[in-house]
Amino acid sequence: MLKIFLVEDEYVVREGIKNIDWASHGYDFVGEASDGEIAYPMIDKLKPDIVITDIKMPFMDGLELSKLIKKDFPQIEIIILSGYAEFEYAREAINIGVAHYLTKPISAEQLIGEVDTLAHKIEERKKDRAFREKYLQDMKENMEKERNNLFNIMVTQSRPVTDILEMASKLDISLSALFFNVVLVKIMSKNHSEEEYSESVIKVRDRAMDYIHKNEILMFDRGIEGVALVFKAGSREEIEIVRDRAIAELTAIFEMFPSIRYFGGIGTTVSRLREIGESFEAAGHAFAHRFFKEDSVFVKYNEISPESVNTADFDISNVDTNSIDRSRILQFLKQGEKSEVTYFVEEFMESMGENAANSFMMRQYIAMDIYFAIASFLEEIGQDKSDIPAFDLEGGDIKDSESLEKYIVNIIDLAVDKRQNNVNKKYNDVVETVIEYINEHYSDEDLSLNMLASYVNFSPNHLSMMFGQQTGKTFIKYLTDFRMNKAKELLRCTNKRSVDISVEVGYKDPHYFSYCFKKYQGVTPTQYRNGENGTENPEEE
């Protein structure tokens, strides 16, 4: 029921309008005032849908009140009543945004008729706003993809800063700051592989996301790589305070769940948006350090210190061969990202001491051990190991520490590529299962990413990532395209009513279906059936 508020200084007129049987016409008369000054705080409290106000009143007249209302409560519609028919009053009222300007005297029937017209407009606007909110919620996955695309552009600086700021503005992201700092964070279950759906990981992620959103920290989802947090502030001191406070709070949340492990890499602070890639690269370097840490911890890039063997003259008998930890290699081969290979190898070499690779015999030992670790891993996952190059026994590939490091980076790169190919095959099977499920259940309005994630036993974020990689579309984009193409086929090839087609393609509310169809195609379902093609995905052009 829409709410009506009256502002009128003439007692007799006010009583006459007040005593209209508003309820029988479907309205709730919520209050009255004799002038604008008294009315304004009441309107602020009661939030009526329609304000009926006289134009000529003491203290604050109707035009002044209308200006205030339209400034602070633009959704409220205003009807002005006046005994003055002068054009200037009407023109000013129109400029303010008043819906109707009526001259006195006016009958109850006339006033109700004007209110009914206005009520229809309000209801349509509310419905449209509700549709838009639902549409935006449905398209949330697409928004996340756009946010992550923005982050990739930010750290690679593949677009001018002006373009980045414009993209951020469209996503309602503020990048206005003097200093920036990137932190990479990942949480995982201690008892499950990172690819599995873990209830404890989901719970802790939800708690952490709640804290991040409440404190307006910029967060970008990196899929199975975790998340990137971007802190911004007006000074180096402030950004360190804000960042360290957030890390302490997140650590406290993580520690509430003993079944999970977490790790964070803290980048350097930079003073320009165009330098944010440097902070990201430093955070990535620190993040790769997780393969050398058993504990859950946040590591700062500028605090990474290798455990070196500080001997000026190398003696192979002084080298602890246990430091050549094959388990670290295997862990990276299972969980590391291609972008982290160089960082990992640098850390791995440093962990053995700065002089360890000075001996040709030791370089042979290191290269051989890593080669066999990779060969064993590839056999385990059913991948061909034959094209992983063994090092030259004469030493050409490992003539010094630099060439050894290059050789290791190369063979780990190849192994990670093979692992990804293996994963992609698995992903293909999962995505095919998802697509088959969509084909059979697209008419179910409740079909969602979460439902499908549960069906294939993956986390929603992980499923979203793999679905996008395999199809080039987000789940919601794929589902929307599928439903709309079905709708277009039914509109053109059958005589079914639009309301029935709506239900058949997964929209119980035919009005919302019409709203979505127009957003997608640029014309209403009726217009499309009548031969107007519109422009597919008009909002994306």
252-263 mean pLDDT:
89
Contact 430, 458 (CB under 8 A): yes
Chain-centroid distance of CA 407 in Å reads 39
Of the ranges 25-39, 124-138, 284-298, the best mean pLDDT one: 25-39
pLDDT at 290: 82
| Confidence at residue 30, expressed as pLDDT on a 0 to 100 scale | 93
- HSE at residue 424, side-chain half, CA atoms within 13 A, is 11
> For residue 96, what are the CA distances in angstroms to 43, 99, 101, 467?
18, 9, 11, 50
What mean pLDDT is predicted for residues 65-88?
83
Domain 460-540 listed as CATH 1.10.10.60: yes
Confidence of residue 257 (pLDDT cuts 50, 70, 90): confident
Q: Which of 265-269, 352-356, 447-451, 516-520 is predicted with the least confidence, judged by mean pLDDT?
A: 352-356
For residue 398, the model assigns a pLDDT of 80
> For position 363, what pLDDT does the model report?
80
Question: Using 50, 70 and 90 to split pLDDT, how confident is the model at 352?
Answer: confident
Q: What is the pLDDT of residue 311?
A: 34
Does residue 522 contact residue 484 with C-beta atoms inside 8 Å?
A: no
Query: Alpha carbon of 330 to those of 171, 225, 325: distances in Å?
Result: 40, 18, 9
Please determine whether the domains at 2-138 and 460-540 fall in the same fold group of CATH: no
Q: Which helix (H) or strand (E) holds 309?
A: none
- Kindly tell me the burial class for residue 202, based on how many C-beta atoms sit within 10 Å of its own C-beta (0-12, 13-18, 19 or more): middle
Cβ burial of 136 (10 Å; 0-12, 13-18, 19+) is exposed
Q: For the domain 2-138, what is the CATH superfamily, name and number?
A: Response regulator (3.40.50.2300)
Average confidence score pLDDT of the chain: 84
Instruction: State how far the Cα of 10 lies from the Cα of 54, in Å rounded to an integer.
Output: 9
* Interacting residues of 424 by C-beta distance below 8 A, sequence separation 6+: 469, 470
Q: What does the alpha-carbon distance between residue 449 and residue 140 come to, in Å, rounded to a whole number?
A: 11
- 265 burial (CB, 10 Å; 0-12 / 13-18 / 19+) is buried
Pick the residue with more confidence: 31 or 134?
31
Residue 536 has pLDDT above 70, yes or no: no
pLDDT per residue as tens digits for the range 450-460:
899 889 888 78
Give the pLDDT confidence score for residue 487 in this predicted structure: 95
Give the residue with greater pLDDT, 373 vs 319.
Answer: 373
In whole angstroms, what separates CA 42 from the centre of its chain? 39
Average pLDDT, integer, range 166-190: 90
Q: How does strand 2-7 pair with strand 27-33?
A: parallel
Q: For residue 165, what are the β-bridge partners? A: none
Higher pLDDT, 455 or 139: 455
Residue 81 in this model has a pLDDT that exceeds 50: yes
Q: Is the pLDDT of residue 217 over 90?
A: yes
For the chain, the structural domain boundaries read: 2-138, 146-304, 305-441, 460-540
Q: What homologous superfamily is domain 146-304 in, according to CATH?
A: Reverse transcriptase/Diguanylate cyclase domain (3.30.70.270)
Question: In a 3-state reduction of DSSP, which class is residue 261?
Answer: strand
What percentage of the chain reaches a pLDDT higher than 70? Answer: 90
